[in-house]
């Protein structure tokens, strides 16, 4: 079932989205060579709790942390650890969310630490830009396939590939609601988009092949070919006047 949110519900949900965006910002400001992913996780959790919210990934299907922190060839769902140091030259994907008022926010970004290769920079820029291409198509009367097609065509024209096994999703009173929002697709296909829909759009893009595998820890998703991967995500709402990004400060 797809839930359309009323204005009152959106007001409550905006708070969760604002705190989610704030937590991503505090990680961005703290990230530097030598810091561990476990320390970054603690910083984000402290911030979310200080706002009166709760980290919504923690405990989700048994997930043990506030943030997912995925480095280089790790695509998503990397588990923070106080023994895992971030190095200059790494690209670091951070995904997290907060819940308050019974509503959820969800967002992600990939950060460059120190000097990174030109190719890594192009991957990060392309992934961020593809998210905005997808958001542009999140309009009442369109379909989820319009969003997926916009992301996929933007990314593939630049020689990168779209991960298929993980997709965007509805978000609201649950972290994951209907519909699924794939980062690939065909214009005019998929679920019809309506005002009041709140969606997490989240392209995961690889430099090499699209194939991914899960590590023995049961969470961390890696590229099969070892190539770098980037991830950006916003929670948006479809209004009668077009898409509005909710996870923005
Ligand atoms: N990052 C996922 C999303 O954006 C959700 C995280 S699953 C968790 O939809 F278990 F790691 F929390
Ligand atoms: Co999400």
Cα 229 from Cα 92, distance rounded (Å): 9
Q: Which residues, including other chains, have CB under 8 Å from residue 36's CB and lie 6 or more apart? A: 80, 81, 82, 83, 84, 85, 86
Q: Answer whether 247's CB lies under 8 Å from 237's CB.
A: no
Specify the pLDDT at position 185: 98
| Cα 207 to ligand 2 centre (Å) | 21
DSSP output for 60-111: GGG--SSEEEEETTEEE-PPP-TT-B--TT-EEEEEE-EEETTEE--EEEEE
pLDDT digits over 232-249, tens only?
Answer: 999 999 999 999 999 999
Average pLDDT over residues 156-170: 98
Total domains present in the chain:
1
> Which ligand 1 atom minimizes the distance to the CA of 202?
4
Mean of per-residue pLDDT scores for the chain = 98
Specify the pLDDT at position 128: 99
pLDDT digits over 115-137, tens only?
Answer: 999 999 999 999 999 999 999 99
Which protein residues are within 6 Å of ligand 1, measured from CB? 57, 60-61, 63, 68, 77, 95, 106, 169, 200, 202, 233
Cα 92 from Cα 86, distance rounded (Å): 8
pLDDT digits over 67-88, tens only?
Answer: 999 999 999 999 999 999 999 9
Site to substitute for ligand 1 among 68, 78, 80, most atoms within 8 A of C-beta: 68
DSSP output for 202-214: --EEESS-S-EEE
> Which ligand 1 atom minimizes the distance to the CA of 68?
11
Specify the pLDDT at position 124: 99
Instruction: Look up the CATH number of the domain holding residue 204.
Output: 3.90.230.10
Residue 42, in any domain of the structure: yes
> Six-digit token pair at 36?
């561990």
Residue 11, in any domain of the structure: yes
| Cα 77 to ligand 1 centre (Å) | 7
Specify the pLDDT at position 209: 99
Chain centroid, CA 15 distance in Å = 18
Percent over 90 (pLDDT), the chain? 100
Specify the pLDDT at position 160: 99
The residues placing their C-beta within 5 Å of ligand 2, an ion, are: 106, 200, 202
Domain that holds residue 118: 7-242
Cα 32 from Cα 181, distance rounded (Å): 33
Residue 194, in any domain of the structure: yes
Residue 163, in any domain of the structure: yes
Specify the pLDDT at position 114: 98
| Cα 8 to ligand 1 centre (Å) | 26
pLDDT digits over 26-46, tens only?
Answer: 999 999 999 999 999 999 999
Residue 20, in any domain of the structure: yes
Residue 25, in any domain of the structure: yes
> Which ligand 1 atom minimizes the distance to the CA of 63?
10
Specify the pLDDT at position 182: 99
Pairing relation of β-strands 234-239 and 98-100? Answer: unpaired
Specify the pLDDT at position 244: 98
Residue 218, in any domain of the structure: yes
Specify the pLDDT at position 142: 98
| Cα 46 to ligand 1 centre (Å) | 19
Size of the chain in residues: 249
Ligand lying closest to the C-alpha of residue 200: 2
Report the candidate in 113, 69, 74 with the shortest Cα–Cα distance to residue 90.
113
Residue 1, in any domain of the structure: no
Cα 238 from Cα 4, distance rounded (Å): 10
Cα 148 from Cα 133, distance rounded (Å): 9
**Going by CA atoms, what residue is nearest to atom 3 of ligand 1?**
106
């Amino acid at each position: 079932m797809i839930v359309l949110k009323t204005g009152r519900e959106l007001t409550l949900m905006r708070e969760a989205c604002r705190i989610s965006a704030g937590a991503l910002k505090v990680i961005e400001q703290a990230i530097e060579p030598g810091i561990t992913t476990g320390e970054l996780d603690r910083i984000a959790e402290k911030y979310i709790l200080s706002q009166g919210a709760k980290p919504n990934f923690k405990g989700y299907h048994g997930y043990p942390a506030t943030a997912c922190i995925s480095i280089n060839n790790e695509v998503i769902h990397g588990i923070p650890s106080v023994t895992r140091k971030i190095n200059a030259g790494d690209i670091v994907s951070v995904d997290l969310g907060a819940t308050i008022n019974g509503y959820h926010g969800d967002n992600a970004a990939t950060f460059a630490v120190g000097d990174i290769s030109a190719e890594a920079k192009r991957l990060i820029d392309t992934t961020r830009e593809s998210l905005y291409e997808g958001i542009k198509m999140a309009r009442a009367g369109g379909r989820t396939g319009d969003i997926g097609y916009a992301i996929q065509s933007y990314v593939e024209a630049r020689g990168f590939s779209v991960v298929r096994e993980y997709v965007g999703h509805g978000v609201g009173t649950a972290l994951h609601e209907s519909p699924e929002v794939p980062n690939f697709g065909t214009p005019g296909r998929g679920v019809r988009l309506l005002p009041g829909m709140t969606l997490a759009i989240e392209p995961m893009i690889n430099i090499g092949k699209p194939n991914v595998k899960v590590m023995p820890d049961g969470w961390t998703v890696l590229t099969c070919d070892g190539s770098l991967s980037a991830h950006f995500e916003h929670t948006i709402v479809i209004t009668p006047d077009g898409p509005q990004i909710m996870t923005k400060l």
